[in-house]
Structures are given as structure tokens and as C-alpha cells.
Structure 1
């Protein structure tokens, strides 16, 4: 079976590619390398440098004839989406429609889509399940949810199966603190240099941190399960940013006090996602605790810096 991974040179997509190859799939990677890195691409994968919004994207589908598509390519910076909503919509909405058209024309059996907890907005209750009201508070949340509707329509019109995975806060190896930069990658970069982490707000805001290898496993399982379902991919556990810093200080054997600054526009105070449906529909649950994931992530980056050892 052949799988095309859009955004497969990126942080999450490259882990998905590795796992698919480990499980015997043929892999085609499509990535424009705007945030992804060619060095992350598995040597056994076929690679095309291509933007998902390009008119000639279909030529890759026509040539490679993938059985499945995993769509990880996106503009994922919340602040950038607020500053430039047109670009955000072009990539996340029009780029997705372009992929769906390619799937329709080339006879793809199923597509897996990376959506986001951002579609829910400020939660009305916790944990947030898939039936929660959709109320995004950023252009990014709007674009990710808008794209979801197209999967439903293409399924009804063309019998194209899909699974939509709404990710919590994904972290781990290969996340770029200077690029798509999640809070853990940014903190890791700073703290390994001996710099104090910067927290927007008072640090009591909570997030649901899920390790990238667990996310890759959810995508693998979704190839054969969860047809036409929307599924949260999360730990179902809230962690405050202050707790996160404390845990990272402990792992690094440091005592760096955070710097607190003004909250950012579009940020949510508390968020964590219910993951019961993932177990029921995909047979998936996270295998990494936050501490285990942090240790593996910090160990990966530690080689860049001198004089720090893990406990």
C-alpha cells in the first residue's frame, strides 16, 4: 500500500513517514520545505518539493497513485493567522481543497486530516469532547474547521473516506523553536542555553501536551479505522505552563525562573481534550507520559549544548 504524506518533511509529518515505513507502507512525501526540513525525510521515501496550493499538484498523484493520503501540510502559527488571514486561508482551506480534488481524480481510498483543538475556541466545559460547540477565536481555528466541512462533502459526493484528527498541543523531537515553535520546543531551546523561559500571562493557563510519536501512531491506526469520524488526539490531562517549567527544570537539573509578560491575543486560558473516542474508534491511547516525552525531547536537543546532563 502506498501513502502520500503532505507536509511529510515537517515536525509531525516526518514522524508519521518513519512509522509508516516501519510498518511496511510505501511513502511519497510532498512538502514545500517552508518549515519542513529535507533531512527529516526518511531515505526510503519518494520526495517531491511541491506546495499544496500549486495547480499542478495532481501530476504527482497521477504518477504515484497513492492508496491513502495523510494531510499534515498547513499554516499552523496562530499569531500569523491573525496577522495575515488571507495567507492562512489560502494554505489551510484552498490547499486542502486542492488535495481533495487530487484524491478524487486519482481514486484515493481514504484521507487522514490533521485538524486542531483550536476549532473549539474557549471551552464551555472540560474536558472538551468531539461534540463540543465549535467557536474558534483565531483565523487558524476558522481555517482548520472550514476545511473539515470539505471532507464531509467529498465523502458524500465521491465516497472518499476520511478521518479528521483534532490534535491537542503536540510536542517532541524535530519541532523547531524558531519555526512552528510550540511552547515546549521554545522552552527547551532557551533553558538548555541557560536562559529563562518567557511565559505569556501568569503561567496558570493549562494545555494538553501530547507526544509526537503518539500522534504518529494515531495516524497509522486511522488508515484502517475510524472511517468518516472526527477524533480528538490528546492525553485528557491538563498541565499548567508553570508546572511544565517546573518539570523541565527538574529534568535538566536547573532552577531557571520564568519571565512573565502580557498574554497574547487569541490564546485560550484552559484547554484539554477528551480522548475516549480515540480509544473506542481507533484503539488508540497515548503511550508516553509528559515526563517521558520531555526526557526524550530534551535528550535529543541536549547534544547542541555543553555542560548540562539529564538526571
Structure 2
């Protein structure tokens, strides 16, 4: 199968590409390298430097005739979406619509869309189900939710098949300091350099950290599933508070860690844990990386 991966030079995208090539897929990467890196591009993938908002995207689709698209290219920083909501909308919403137009005009079989736990906003009932209310607290979460609505209508109007994956907080090798899971890479660098780590809030806020290799597998499984037009949480279904996370990172690094507490940030969710029952049942997927092992891999890769 021939698969286009947008954002394939990025953190998550590079791992998805690696998984697809392991499964003998023919892979094309589209990335504008605004946050992606040339060093992340797999040598067996065909790389095209292009922005997903480009009017030349359709021409590429007509030429390449993709079977499937995995869409990871996005503006992923919550704080940036609050500072520049127009830019966030331009990249995430208009860029995605441009991509959807290319998909439907060239009869792509399915698009797998990378969404986020940020679509839910602050919730009181955990773990969060795919059917839980969606009340995003950032424009990033809103833009991803808007894209989900576009996907549903494209399927209804044009018959374009899709799967939506709502990621928990992703971490792992090759992660930068941006995005929702970037706190682990930030802490890793601080701990390695012997510097204190800054916690926004009192450290009791929780996240559901999912290893990037497990995310890559979920994307591949989304190409194979017989289920159409569904939304899946991709998570460990486990809460860990930030204080405990830092203690765990101190353990894998064998270093003492100094914590500094600061004011909470606007748009940040307080508690987060996503149910992964639907993904387990319908995607034939489950997380396989224990947190301590994943943290150790991440630490070793970043030092």
C-alpha cells in the first residue's frame, strides 16, 4: 500500500513512518520542516518539502495516487494557539481542509487523522470516553475538534473514509520541547544538565502519557481496521501526576531533582486520563511500553 504521511519529519510522524516501512508500505512524506527535522526522515521514504496549505498539494496527489493518508502535520502547542489563534486555525483547519480536498478528488481510501485529548477540555469523570462532552479550553483543542467535524461531513457528503485518533500525552525519542507531551523532553534535558525543573501549578495535575511507538502502531492498525468513520482514544488509561512523573524521571536518570513551582498556565487541563477500551477492541491495539521503560529510553536518547 502507498501511504502519505504529513508531518513525517516530526516527532510522532517519524515513528509512524518507521512503523509503516517495517510493514513494507511505500511511504511518501510531506513536511514543510517548520518543526520537523531532516535528520528524522527515513532513508527509505520519499520526502517532499511542502506545506499542507499549498495549492500544489492536489497536483502531488494526482501524480502519486496515494492509497491512504496519515495526517500528522499540525500546529500542536496549546500556548501558541492562545497567542496566535488565527495561525492555529490556518494550519490546523484550513490546512486540513486543503488536504481533504486532495483526498476526495483522488479517491484516497482512508485518512487517519491525529487528534488530541485537548478536544475534551477539563472533565470530572475519568477515564474519558470518546462519547464524553467536548469542551476544549484552547484554540488548539478547538481546531482539532473542528477538523473532526469536517471529516464526518466529508464522509457523509463525499464518502471519504476516515479514522480519528485522539492522543493522550505522547512522549519518546526524537521529541522536541513543543506540543502536549513535550514536558518530558523538557524535564529530561533539565535533569541531565543538573538544573531545577519548573512545574506550572502544584504538580498534582495529571496526564496520561503514551509512548510514541504505541502511537505508531495505532496509526498502522487504523489502516487495517474494518471499522469506518470512528474515533478512538489512544492512551494507557493511566493517570500520573506531574510530581510523580518527575520522581520517576529522577529514578531512571539516577539524579536528584529540584522542583520549582510556578503559576498554572492558561488553557492547560488539570486532570487527564483517556479510556482505551474502544481502540483495544476495534483496532486490535493496546499499549505495550511501561512508563519507566519508556522514560529510560527517552532519557538515554536525549542525553
d(CA) in 2 for partners of 1:116, 1:3: 22
The CA deviation at 1:124 is 3.1
Q: Is the 8 A contact 1:35 1:179 kept in 2?
A: no
The CA deviation at 1:181 is 6.6
Secondary structure class of the residue paired with 1:218: helix
- Is 1:258 equivalent to 2:265 in the alignment? no
Residues 32-43 of structure 1 aligned to structure 2 (within 5 Å): 32-43=32-43
In structure 2, the residue matched to 1:291 is: 292
d(CA) in 2 for partners of 1:104, 1:28: 18
In structure 2, the residue matched to 1:308 is: none
Secondary structure class of the residue paired with 1:112: strand
Q: Is the 8 A contact 2:68 2:110 kept in 1?
A: yes
Runs of 4+ in 1 over 4 A off after TM superposition: 178-181
The CA deviation at 1:180 is 7.3
In structure 2, the residue matched to 1:309 is: none
Q: Is the 8 A contact 1:35 1:180 kept in 2?
A: no
The CA deviation at 1:292 is 0.9
d(CA) in 1 for partners of 2:73, 2:302: 24
State the Cα deviation string for residues 77-122 of structure 1 (Å, max 9, x = none). Answer: 0000000000000111000000000001111000000000000001
d(CA) in 2 for partners of 1:166, 1:178: 18
In structure 1, the residue matched to 2:236 is: 235
Secondary structure class of the residue paired with 1:223: helix
Residues 1-311 of structure 1 aligned to structure 2 (within 5 Å): 1-177=1-177, 182-225=182-225, 226-302=227-303
The CA deviation at 1:182 is 1.0
The CA deviation at 1:179 is 7.4
d(CA) in 2 for partners of 1:227, 1:234: 20
The CA deviation at 1:160 is 1.2
Moved more, 199-208 or 171-180: 171-180
The CA deviation at 1:238 is 0.2
Q: Is the 8 A contact 2:171 2:181 kept in 1?
A: no
The number of residue pairs the alignment matches comes to 302
d(CA) in 2 for partners of 1:268, 1:153: 28
d(CA) in 1 for partners of 2:179, 2:256: 26
State the Cα deviation string for residues 14-64 of structure 1 (Å, max 9, x = none). Answer: 100011001000000000000000111110111110001111111111111
Secondary structure class of the residue paired with 2:280: helix
Q: Is the 8 A contact 1:168 1:209 kept in 2?
A: yes
d(CA) in 2 for partners of 1:158, 1:73: 23
Q: TM-score w.r.t. structure 2 length? A: 0.98
d(CA) in 2 for partners of 1:86, 1:265: 18
Q: Is the 8 A contact 2:3 2:26 kept in 1?
A: yes
- Aligned-residue CA RMSD (Å): 1.1
Q: Is the 8 A contact 2:76 2:178 kept in 1?
A: no
Secondary structure class of the residue paired with 1:266: coil
Q: Is the 8 A contact 2:119 2:144 kept in 1?
A: yes
State the Cα deviation string for residues 148-168 of structure 1 (Å, max 9, x = none). Answer: 011111111221110000000
d(CA) in 2 for partners of 1:124, 1:161: 32
Q: TM-score w.r.t. structure 1 length? A: 0.95
Q: Is the 8 A contact 1:7 1:31 kept in 2?
A: yes
Q: Is the 8 A contact 1:177 1:189 kept in 2?
A: no
Runs of 5+ in structure 1 lacking a partner? 303-311
The CA deviation at 1:131 is 0.6
State the Cα deviation string for residues 133-180 of structure 1 (Å, max 9, x = none). Answer: 010011011100000011111111221110000000000100112677
The CA deviation at 1:299 is 1.2
